[in-house]
């Protein structure tokens, strides 16, 4: 009897140990045999490091864990992921199971994003699936545009450096050196000029003070003579008023009228047919007077050379007779001289 009780105890301990072992293995696998759990499935093209016993969360709170991952038969390459949740959590229809990174180290888990549907999935249903980019992917997405910009900037900098290198060649560097030397000489000249101005200012301080004193004295005199200047200005104003009220305006108007009449008369003389106009514009009188003068000159010469033609004395022989004949060449010359004089008068 005592030996039988011993076997019963050993069997009981073995059974308890087996149950505890089974529960422990199931718990490690993500199965809790003492709770009512719901099983759900989702299909993925890749799991990105998701493994059995990975957590399942809703709004960051753990509600279950992954208990199965295997390929779908048929060679499609897709993976079926099974996960369990406690019986108290109902998953609305159209909810999505995201594979995401649960920490900065890249540990994967499933995040359930509930929809606004009022109906719920049943245990064993397949949920919609998606993969959320991890930190690396997000950083890559953010850095990719920056990378392109940096590459473009580097290309631009390369072009700018090439242009700068082309511009600042040996000759340009030499010109710059000469320019800096010229600037240095200019600065030295400015320093010398400033020193001279300072020396001049110190030397001529007394003279400048005297000039300023004279200016001050002149200003004081002008201030003292302000009343006299004001009286002079008033007298000038009174003289201007009296001059404006005098008959000077009428005299100026009469003068303008006379000048206008004189211009009209001169215009009539230049363009009219009157005696005075004919006398000025027509050279007939001039030609006639010239001919009379020439004939009178000939007469006087003939009278001087041949007086016996005009005065007869029987007792006195006045000498030989000279015939006064003008040379043919003298008349054209005199005419040319007369024409030149006439042109000068017209001008």
| pLDDT score of 35 | 56
Rama region for 125: left / alpha / beta (φ>0; ψ in -120 to 50; rest): beta
Token pair listed for 272: 């009219």
Question: pLDDT at residue 96 above 90?
Answer: yes
d(CA 217, CA 224) in angstroms, rounded, equals 10
DSSP class of 307: G
Higher-confidence residue of 72 and 249: namely: 72
| pLDDT score of 93 | 92
What is the Cα 30 distance to its own chain's centre?
71
For a pLDDT cut of 90, what percent of the chain falls above it?
Answer: 10
d(CA 208, CA 202) in angstroms, rounded, equals 10
Third-level CATH fold of 35-133: Elongation Factor Tu (Ef-tu); domain 3 (2.40.30)
* CA R_g for the chain: 67
DSSP class per residue in 113-158: E--S-SSBPPTTPBPEEEE---HHHHHHHHHHHHHHHHHHHHHHHH
CB 47 within 8 A of CB 77: no
Point out the least confidently predicted range of 1-5, 62-66, 292-296, 343-347: 343-347
Rama region for 48: left / alpha / beta (φ>0; ψ in -120 to 50; rest): left
| pLDDT score of 164 | 76
| pLDDT score of 245 | 65
pTM of the model: 0.35
Report the pLDDT averaged over residues 75-101.
87
Question: Quick count: other Cβ atoms within 10 Å of Cβ 278?
Answer: 13
- For the four alpha carbons of 136, 142, 143 and 144, in that order, the dihedral sign comes to positive
Question: pLDDT at residue 253 above 90?
Answer: no
| pLDDT score of 266 | 78
Identify the band that residue 321 occupies on the pLDDT scale cut at 50, 70 and 90. low
Tens of pLDDT, residue by residue over 258-309, are 888 888 877 777 776 666 666 666 677 778 888 888 888 888 888 888 877 7
* Residues 6+ positions from 245 with CB-CB distance below 8 Å: none
DSSP class of 125: P
Question: pLDDT at residue 90 above 90?
Answer: no
d(CA 91, CA 117) in angstroms, rounded, equals 9
């Amino acid at each position: 009897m005592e030996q039988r009780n011993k076997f019963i105890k050993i069997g009981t301990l073995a059974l308890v140990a087996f149950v505890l072992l089974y529960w422990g293995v199931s718990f490690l696998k993500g199965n809790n045999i003492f709770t009512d759990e719901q099983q759900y499935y989702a299909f993925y093209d890749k799991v990105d490091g998701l493994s059995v016993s990975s957590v399942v969360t809703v709004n960051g709170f753990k509600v279950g864990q992954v208990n199965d991952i295997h390929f779908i038969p048929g060679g499609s390459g897709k993976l079926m992921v099974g996960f369990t949740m406690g019986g108290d959590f109902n998953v609305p229809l159209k909810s999505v199971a995201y594979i995401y990174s649960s920490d900065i180290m890249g540990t994967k888990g499933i995040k359930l994003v509930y929809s606004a549907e009022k109906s719920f999935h049943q245990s064993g249903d397949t949920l919609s699936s998606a993969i959320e980019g991890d930190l690396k992917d997000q950083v890559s997405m953010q850095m990719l545009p920056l990378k392109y910009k940096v590459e473009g900037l580097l290309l631009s900098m390369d072009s700018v450096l090439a242009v700068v290198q082309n511009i600042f060649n040996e000759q340009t560097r030499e010109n710059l050196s000469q320019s800096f030397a010229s600037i240095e000489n200019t600065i030295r000249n400015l320093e010398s000029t400033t020193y001279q101005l300072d020396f001049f200012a110190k030397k001529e301080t007394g003279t400048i003070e005297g000039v300023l004193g004279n200016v001050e004295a002149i200003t004081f005199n002008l201030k003292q003579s302000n009343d006299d200047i004001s009286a002079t200005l008033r007298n000038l104003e009174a003289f201007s008023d009296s001059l404006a009220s005098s008959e000077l305006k009428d005299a100026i108007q009469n003068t303008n009228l006379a000048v206008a009449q004189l211009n009209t008369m001169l215009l009539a003389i230049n363009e009219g047919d009157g005696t005075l106009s004919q006398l000025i514009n027509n050279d007939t009188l001039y030609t006639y007077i010239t001919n009379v003068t020439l004939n009178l000159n000939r007469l006087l010469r003939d009278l001087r050379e041949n007086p016996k033609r005009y005065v007869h004395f029987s007792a006195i022989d006045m000498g030989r007779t000279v015939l006064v004949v003008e040379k043919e060449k003298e008349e054209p010359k005199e005419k040319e001289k007369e024409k030149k004089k006439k042109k000068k008068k017209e001008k």
